[in-house]
Amino acid sequence: MTTTEKIANAKKRIDELERLIKYWNDLDHDEAKMVNFTRKIENKVA
């Protein structure tokens, strides 16, 4: 494997990791919205 191929593969892995990090951050943000929504419903029912 040449140096150019190694660099190309490393860039692909970095891109995949960045996509995963973005997905996890978005997921955490969405879960926070769900928790707040549930809390609001509980307050109205109580």
Q: What is the pLDDT of residue 5?
A: 96
Number of domains in the chain: 1
What tens digit of pLDDT does each residue of 7-41 get?
999 999 999 999 988 888 887 766 666 556 555 55
Which residue would you say has higher pLDDT here, 2 or 32? 2
Q: What is the pLDDT of residue 9?
A: 95
Q: What is the pLDDT of residue 23?
A: 86
Angstrom distance (rounded) from CA 29 to CA 33: 7
CB atoms within 10 A of CB 34: 9
Is the pLDDT at 46 greater than 60? The verdict is no
**How many CA within 13 A on the CB side of residue 46?**
6
Angstrom distance (rounded) from CA 29 to CA 21: 12
Angstrom distance (rounded) from CA 21 to CA 16: 9
- For residue 11, the enclosing domain spans 1-45
